[in-house]
């Protein structure tokens, strides 16, 4: 490096470091989370730099020729310009000493920033290949003759005669012929074979953060390749990122220097050892499904939709409310429900009381109660008293179970529609919730606009590609709003989700378009650009009646085939169908002024069918009471719901979106069981 003393004032470089910046022989530490872009000139190092998870300092200094070690890379920036700090887009890198592969591989040209940097990466082997380098041909080595002075033009000829014909060498010596003045070429030395190069493993490794995988190159001198090659092996390795030496589809690869962890695989039992298994075959091993590229991509899209949901409603001023999973209220009045009970024992059989009679147990309760009282009066030790109280509690539970069984056996003396749940956990009939809208209404009538997001359960025995027993729903309730307001909110929310995926999941959507449905991205774009079509139930019925040759009879339910026809063939865009016959909608939907239609709507989209259902709730208590009586619903279940009408009622509306159906629509997959992590359907509850 030229010194400052030897430079003129006009040529003097700007000094921004405390010590001269030179070529370093040690790796630089570079971090993922923040990248400091300095304006100082820097020396170019030939050694790999180290990526850690703290901050990433990328200096832009020019190369110098000094061979002194780099001692200024860790010095504070003294430049007049402040460093620019960029936070990592992948926060998970904060909580591990590895680099998330998405940081390197996405976008597709970002890898250039990481060439020659040392990193720690981890993931699972998606494919592997062992390459054994060809044995190099031995090369002959000869001892060259020493330099010959100019003027001896025939030296090579003499050399040849001396080396090839021994007698000529003797004659040359007798006549003083340059036997000593001309060099003699030695015989070629035998070829020395080069040592064989060790085999090399090429692994495609994915950590689930992106569609792309990183090519990892491991020399057999680093680790036994047989442990790394099986598909599904988990590895954590340290090495240097390099551009491939030969032309390949991979822009960057990792040259491994150290193996930090190997999670081995039992190849004969690992279900993903076979390549490209159909999605149907993967449903029986759902705990391994996310390791496939397709399911991993679908999961990232699902996660993005979940985040987009929270973002949309948060930005619109909605509050998130958690509604109960276990409830005593049938949210729709006529749905198939899962009952919650503890009557069955741990082994799945009805609790066995061991043949003990109720009278014997009641006598034991009296005896144990007297013992507890006696221990209390005698001020006995606390351990004995606690043990006696616990024993009494268990005996009381046994008595309750026996009493419940006796009541169930009494049969005719009991009312069939009011079974006893005295011995059950909640002492009353409880279900897994079908819908959280009723509970959400209570918060809307106090806080304004609210939403919830969670699982809902239906004991529907009918098999369907778009409905299974457990599905996730986004539910919305808005105070001081009517049916039209709910329609507009649903339309805006749906388009927001479509736009979010296109803006934030470009790589996953490219994969989906290539592997699953080539029209998926176009479909999302068309949903954003098109206006929604709104038609009444009667208009919809007239259109499907012609196509499906059915009577235009009021009250006929529109089937999924009818709705798909309207969205995909007739309008080719989202369709909202509103003002259904009141008999087709739940009891809580507001009755329109015509007395026969309900203020409800369905949003139907191509490919997925009905994705959103909504309504304006009935705020008039007299109308709600009348509907409950007509449908013969158990009034005691809905007393708390009627209280909302008795005390400070207000117009309100809402809707629910089938979240899993939205993922289905986005990806183009045909079956909802392939977008739910652990699907639950009749006869199937794996894991």
pLDDT in tens, 522-573: 999 999 999 999 999 999 999 999 888 888 889 899 999 999 999 999 999 9
Other C-beta atoms lying within 10 Å of the C-beta of residue 563: 20
**Range in 145-159, 313-327, 413-427, 503-517 with the lowest mean pLDDT:** 145-159
Assess whether 206 and 354 both reside in one domain: no
What average pLDDT does this structure show over 290-300? 96
Measured CA to CA in angstroms, residue 587 lies from 483, 508, 616, 623, 647 at distances of 16, 42, 11, 10, 20
Q: Residue 141: what pLDDT? A: 54
**Based on the domain organization, do 590 and 453 belong to the same domain?**
yes
Q: Which two tokens stand for residue 397?
A: 């539970």
- Percent of the chain residues topping a pLDDT of 70: 71
| Dist CA 100 CA 92 (whole Å) | 8
In the structure, what pLDDT confidence band is assigned to residue 198 with cuts at 50, 70 and 90?
confident
- Give the chain's mean pLDDT: 79
Q: How many CA atoms lie within 13 A of 232 on its CB side?
A: 15
Query: Is the per-residue pLDDT at 13 higher than 50?
Result: no
- Domains of the chain: total: 5
* Residue 62 binned pLDDT confidence (cut-offs 50, 70, 90): very low
In 3D space, the residue among 186, 188, 185 whose CA is nearest the CA of residue 140 turns out to be 188
| In a domain? residue 239 | yes
pLDDT of residue 330 exceeding 50, the answer is yes
In CATH, what number is assigned to the domain containing residue 269?
A: 2.40.50.140
Comparing C-alpha atoms, which of 611, 581, 619 is closest to residue 482? 619
282 within a domain of the structure (yes/no): no
Position 44 scores a pLDDT of 41
Same domain, 493 and 585: yes
Q: Which pair of structure tokens corresponds to residue 630?
A: 């007509």
Find where tokens 């080069």 sit.
194
User: Which of 5-19, 236-250, 347-361, 429-443 is the least confident region?
Assistant: 5-19
Please give the pLDDT value at position 361. Answer: 73
Residue 456 lies in a domain: yes
pLDDT in tens, 574-583: 999 999 999 9
Return the higher-pLDDT residue of 63 and 569. 569
Domain with 50 in it: 1-88
pLDDT on residue 188 = 61
Confidence of residue 214 (pLDDT cuts 50, 70, 90): very high
| Residue 95: predicted pLDDT | 83
79 and 109 inside one domain: no
Q: How far is CA 679 from the centre of its chain?
A: 16
Q: What is the pLDDT of residue 4?
A: 42
CB 270 within 8 A of CB 264: no
pLDDT at 16 over 70: no
Give domain status of residue 686, yes or no: no
Span 319-332, average pLDDT? 93
Count the residues in the chain.
687
Q: Report which of 615, 622, 646 is spatially closest to residue 483, judged by C-alpha positions.
A: 615
More confident call, 461 vs 22? 461
Task: Please indicate, yes or no, if residue 284 is contained in any of the structural domains.
Answer: no
Q: Is 84 a domain residue?
A: yes
**Rounded Cα–Cα distance for residues 194 and 138 (Å):** 7
Q: Which of 44-58, 103-117, 670-684 has the highest mean pLDDT?
A: 670-684
pLDDT reported for residue 678: 94
pLDDT of residue 386: 73
Same domain, 522 and 664: yes
Q: What is the pTM of this model?
A: 0.72
Please indicate, yes or no, whether residues 128 and 256 belong to a single structural domain of this protein: yes
- Low-confidence winner among 172-186, 210-224, 538-552 (lowest mean pLDDT): 172-186
Closest by CA position to 508, among listed 339, 675, 679: 675
> Do 357 and 504 belong to one domain?
no
Indicate whether 155 pLDDT > 70: no
Q: What would the DSSP string read from start to end of 633-686?
A: --GGGGHHHHHHHHTT---EEEEEEEHHHHHHHHH--S-GGGTSSS--BTTB--
Query: How many CB atoms neighbour CB 386 within 10 A?
Result: 11
Query: Has residue 460 got a pLDDT over 60?
Result: yes
């Amino acid at each position: 490096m030229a010194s400052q003393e030897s430079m003129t004032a006009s040529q003097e470089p700007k000094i921004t470091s405390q010590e001269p910046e030179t070529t370093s022989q040690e790796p630089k530490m570079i971090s993922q989370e923040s990248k400091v872009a300095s304006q100082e000139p820097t020396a170019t190092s030939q050694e790999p730099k180290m990526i850690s998870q703290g901050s990433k300092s990328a200096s832009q200094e020019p190369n110098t020729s000094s061979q002194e070690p780099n001692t200024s890379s860790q010095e504070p920036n003294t430049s007049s310009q402040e460093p620019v700090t960029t936070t990592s887009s992948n926060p998970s890198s904060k909580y591990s000493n590895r680099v998330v592969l998405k940081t390197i591989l996405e976008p597709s040209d970002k890898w250039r920033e990481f060439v020659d940097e040392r990193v720690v990466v981890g993931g699972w082997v998606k494919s592997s290949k062992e390459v054994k380098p060809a044995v190099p041909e031995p090369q002959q080595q000869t001892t060259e003759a020493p330099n010959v002075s100019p003027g001896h033009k025939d030296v090579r000829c003499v050399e040849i005669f001396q080396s090839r014909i021994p007698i000529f060498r003797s004659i040359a010596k007798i006549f003083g012929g340059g036997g000593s003045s001309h060099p003699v070429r030695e015989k070629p030395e035998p070829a020395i074979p080069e040592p064989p190069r060790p085999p090399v493993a090429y692994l495609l490794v994915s950590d689930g953060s992106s569609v792309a995988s990183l090519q990892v190159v491991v020399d057999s001198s680093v680790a036994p390749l047989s442990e790394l090659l099986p598909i599904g092996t988990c590895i954590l390795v340290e090495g240097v990122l390099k551009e491939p030496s030969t032309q390949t589809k991979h822009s960057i690869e990792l040259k491994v220097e150290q193996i930090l962890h190997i999670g081995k695989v039992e190849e004969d039992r690992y279900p993903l050892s076979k390549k490209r298994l159909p999605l149907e075959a993967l449903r029986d091993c759902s705990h391994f499904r996310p390791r496939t590229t397709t399911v991993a991509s679908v999961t990232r899209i699902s996660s993005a939709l979940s985040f987009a949901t929270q973002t949309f409603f948060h930005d619109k001023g909605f509050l998130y409310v958690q509604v109960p999973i276990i409830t005593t209220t049938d949210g729709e009045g006529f749905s198939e429900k899962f009952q919650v009970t503890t009557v069955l024992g741990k082994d799945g059989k009805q609790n066995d009381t061991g043949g003990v009679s109720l009278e014997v147990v009641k006598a034991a309760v009296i005896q144990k109660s007297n013992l507890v009282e006696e221990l209390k009066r005698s001020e006995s030790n606390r351990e004995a008293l606690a043990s006696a109280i616990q024993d009494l509690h268990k005996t009381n539970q046994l008595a309750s179970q026996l009493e419940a069984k006796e009541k169930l056996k009494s049969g005719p003396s009991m009312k069939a529609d009011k079974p006893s749940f005295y011995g059950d956990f909640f002492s009353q009939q409880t279900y897994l919730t079908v819908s959280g809208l009723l509970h959400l209404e209570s918060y809307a009538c106090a806080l304004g606009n609210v939403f919830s997001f969670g699982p809902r359960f239906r004991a529907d025995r009918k098999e369907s590609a778009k409905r299974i027993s457990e599905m996730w729903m986004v539910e919305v309730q808005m105070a001081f709003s009517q049916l039209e307001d709910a329609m507009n909110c649903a339309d805006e929310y749906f388009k927001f989700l479509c736009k979010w995926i296109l803006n934030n999941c470009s790589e996953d959507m490219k994969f989906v378009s290539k592997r699953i449905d080539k029209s998926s991205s176009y479909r999302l774009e068309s949903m954003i650009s098109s206006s929604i079509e709104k038609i009444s139930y009667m208009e919809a019925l007239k259109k499907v009646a012609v196509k499906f040759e059915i009577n235009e009879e009021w009250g006929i339910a529109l089937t999924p085939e009818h709705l798909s026809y309207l969205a995909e063939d007739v309008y080719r865009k989202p369709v909202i169908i509103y003002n259904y016959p009141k008999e087709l909608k739940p009891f809580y939907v507001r009755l329109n002024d015509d007395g026969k239609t309900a203020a409800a709507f369905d949003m139907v989209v191509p490919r997925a069918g009905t994705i959103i259902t909504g309504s304006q709730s009935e705020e008039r208590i007299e109308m709600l009471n009348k509907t409950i009586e007509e449908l013969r619903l158990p009034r005691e279940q809905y007393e708390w719901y009627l209280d909302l009408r008795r005390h400070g009622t207000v117009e309100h509306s809402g809707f629910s979106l089938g979240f899993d159906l939205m993922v289905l629509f986005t990806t183009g997959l045909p079956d909802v069981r392939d977008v739910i992590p652990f699907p639950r359907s009749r006869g199937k509850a794996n894991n």
